[in-house]
Amino acid sequence: MRHKINVHEGSATKDAVVPEVEVERLAYEVVNPLFKNGKKYETGSTIQLDEATAASFLNSGDIKEKS
């Protein structure tokens, strides 16, 4: 999603586009079913997660590194 914002400089107006945030995601194997962003991931499926989110799920044993 790209957001368009009107920027006012004095009496002039121009458009600025806020760049999308690129979040690096890696693939992990689901150990316990997960519910992420409105979608259920069953055991054995692959899920793409950012590093921080993956860390908590790895710690809880819900996912594992893909072999």
Partner 1 sequence: MTTTIAHGGVTANAKTLLGRIKYALGKFFPSWVGQPFHMTITITHADGTKEARRVFNTVTTAGRNGIADQILASPTLGKPTHMAVGTGTGGTTTLNAEVDRNALTSKLRSGAVVTMIGDWAAGDATAALTEAGVLTASTSGDLWLYTTFAVVNKAAADALQIQWTLTIS
User: How far is residue 65's CA from residue 47's CA, in Å, rounded to a whole number?
Assistant: 10
Among residues 7 and 11, whose Cβ is nearest to partner 1?
7
Among residues 50 and 65, whose Cβ is nearest to partner 1?
50
Among residues 25 and 66, whose Cβ is nearest to partner 1?
25
User: How far is residue 33's CA from residue 40's CA, in Å, rounded to a whole number?
Assistant: 7
- DSSP assignments along 19-40, one per residue: PPPP--EEEEEESS-EEETTEE
Q: How far is the CB of 42 from partner 1 (least distance, A)?
A: 9
Could you list the residues that contact partner 1 (CB under 8 A)? 1, 18, 20-21, 23, 32-38, 40, 50, 52-53, 56-57, 59-60, 62
